[in-house]
């Protein structure tokens, strides 16, 4: 794939003209809990979704409803949660392949609960305090849980994306270095960049995406899509003077528009996004 410089300049102009509309800060408990299960885009087409809403919005809305009705989970709750519990929270069935996703959600929440109990006396705030006011340090802390170690390998070289760890720090927001974070590389921003003509893909990859064939997690195509999106957004950041994490929010919002939903996006079954 390649980046089309003309399309990039056109996108820079349109992004630069947009009102900021940056994402709101989230409560620590919600930011940490939601981003622990903020993945599964490869399963989203099979989920039970709220009318007119994406899989991501469905999950966040239903978790918010759980918080409003019963409050946040405790670390002890998370350490013992099951796939059935996750299905109830998110309004899902346990038929294939969604049963697999609910099992992964439970595993991630179990890891988080044990991590909080073992390291921070079960305190969400203790986890954030341990970062010492640094989004980068929080990102590193979260990588102590296996499902946050979002690193691909390309020609033998590690390519760290760290999507969920970074977006957790960004959603909390109260860090001096929060604007040092990169794009939160997933499948939606590459899709937006492709539809905008910025990312030009080869014919074979285009055919796979259009046919909704699952891409290999950590494979060449997926790694290139995510890495090119990160690089493109750094170029956009330089052009418009907006930090990459804020551009992520603007591009994500574009991705909710009908013209982007009208064409297939890359799909991968991964715990990283």
Please give the average per-residue pLDDT across 101-110, as a whole number. 98
Q: What would the pLDDT profile of 156-194 be if each residue is shown by its tens digit?
A: 999 999 999 999 999 999 899 999 999 999 999 999 999
**Structure confidence at residue 19 (pLDDT):** 67
**Structure confidence at residue 25 (pLDDT):** 86
Query: 3-state DSSP call for residue 199?
Result: strand
- Packing angle of the helix pair 188-195, 244-254 (nearest 10 deg): 70
Give residue 99's Cα distance to chain centre. Answer: 20
Looking at the structure, tell me whether residues 182 and 86 fall in a common domain.
no
Looking at the structure, tell me whether residues 15 and 33 fall in a common domain.
no
Share of the chain above pLDDT 70, in %: 97
Q: What would the pLDDT profile of 18-45 be if each residue is shown by its tens digit?
A: 666 666 789 999 999 999 999 999 999 9
Looking at the structure, tell me whether residues 82 and 104 fall in a common domain.
yes
Looking at the structure, tell me whether residues 33 and 43 fall in a common domain.
yes
The answer to the question of residue 215 being in a domain is yes
Looking at the structure, tell me whether residues 102 and 216 fall in a common domain.
no
| Whole-angstrom distance, CA of residue 74 vs CA of residue 24 | 24
**Structure confidence at residue 22 (pLDDT):** 64
Looking at the structure, tell me whether residues 73 and 120 fall in a common domain.
yes
Residue 229 pLDDT level (bands cut at 50, 70, 90): very high
Q: What is the dihedral of CA 247, 249, 261, 15, to 10 degrees?
A: -30
The answer to the question of residue 172 being in a domain is no
Domain count, the chain: 2
Q: What would the pLDDT profile of 195-218 be if each residue is shown by its tens digit?
A: 999 999 999 999 999 999 999 999
Please give the average per-residue pLDDT across 114-120, as a whole number. 98
The answer to the question of residue 17 being in a domain is yes
Looking at the structure, tell me whether residues 231 and 267 fall in a common domain.
yes
**Structure confidence at residue 20 (pLDDT):** 65
Looking at the structure, tell me whether residues 271 and 154 fall in a common domain.
yes
Domain span at residue 61 reads 26-130
Average the pLDDT over each of 18-32, 71-85, 258-272 and give the range with the smallest value: 18-32
Looking at the structure, tell me whether residues 20 and 75 fall in a common domain.
no
Share of the chain above pLDDT 90, in %: 95
Residue 75 pLDDT level (bands cut at 50, 70, 90): very high
Assess whether pLDDT exceeds 70 at residue 128.
Answer: yes
Looking at the structure, tell me whether residues 154 and 252 fall in a common domain.
yes
Asked if the bond preceding 65 is cis, omega within 30° of 0, the reply is: no
Query: 3-state DSSP call for residue 154?
Result: strand
| Whole-angstrom distance, CA of residue 195 vs CA of residue 9 | 15
The answer to the question of residue 139 being in a domain is no
Looking at the structure, tell me whether residues 153 and 218 fall in a common domain.
yes
Looking at the structure, tell me whether residues 83 and 42 fall in a common domain.
yes
The CATH number for 241's domain is 1.10.1670
The answer to the question of residue 167 being in a domain is no
**Structure confidence at residue 110 (pLDDT):** 98
151: tokens are 């690193």
The answer to the question of residue 108 being in a domain is yes
**Structure confidence at residue 175 (pLDDT):** 96
The CATH number for 49's domain is 1.10.340
Counting beta carbons within 10 angstroms of the beta carbon of residue 257, is it exposed (0 to 12), middle (13 to 18) or buried (19 or more)?
A: exposed
The answer to the question of residue 75 being in a domain is yes
The answer to the question of residue 144 being in a domain is no
User: What are the C-alpha distances in Å from 95 to residues 74, 92, 101, 124, 135?
Assistant: 28, 9, 10, 32, 38
Instruction: Judge whether 103 and 84 are in contact, CB under 8 Å.
Output: no
Give residue 15's Cα distance to chain centre. Answer: 21
Strand partners, 159: 152
Assess whether pLDDT exceeds 80 at residue 78.
Answer: yes
**Structure confidence at residue 16 (pLDDT):** 77
């Amino acid at each position: 794939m390649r980046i089309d410089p003309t399309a990039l300049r056109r996108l820079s102009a349109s992004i630069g003209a947009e009102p900021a509309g940056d994402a709101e800060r989230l409560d620590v408990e919600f930011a940490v809990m939601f981003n622990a299960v903020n993945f599964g885009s490869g399963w989203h087409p099979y989920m039970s979704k709220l009318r007119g809403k994406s899989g991501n919005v469905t999950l966040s809305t239903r978790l918010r409803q759980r918080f409003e009705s019963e409050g946040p989970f405790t670390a002890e709750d998370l350490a013992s949660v099951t796939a059935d519990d996750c299905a109830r929270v998110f309004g899902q069935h346990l038929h294939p392949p969604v049963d697999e996703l609910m099992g992964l959600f439970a595993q991630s929440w179990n890891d988080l609960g044990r991590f909080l109990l073992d390291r921070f006396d079960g305190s969400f705030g203790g986890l954030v305090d341990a970062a010492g006011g640094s989004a980068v340090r929080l990102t590193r802390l979260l990588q102590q849980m296996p499902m946050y170690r979002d690193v691909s390998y390309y020609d033998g070289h590690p390519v760290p994306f760290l999507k969920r760890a970074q977006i957790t720090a960004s959603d909390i927001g109260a860090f001096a270095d929060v604007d040092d974070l990169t794009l939160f590389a997933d499948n939606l921003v590459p899709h937006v960049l492709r539809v905008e003509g910025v990312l030009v893909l080869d014919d074979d990859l285009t055919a796979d995406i259009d046919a909704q064939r699952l891409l290999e997690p950590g494979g060449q195509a997926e790694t290139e899509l995510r890495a090119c999106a990160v690089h493109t957004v750094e170029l956009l950041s330089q052009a418009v003077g907006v930090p990459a994490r804020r551009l992520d929010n603007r591009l994500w919002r574009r991705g909710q528009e009908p013209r982007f939903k009208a064409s297939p996006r890359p799909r991968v079954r991964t715990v990283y996004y």
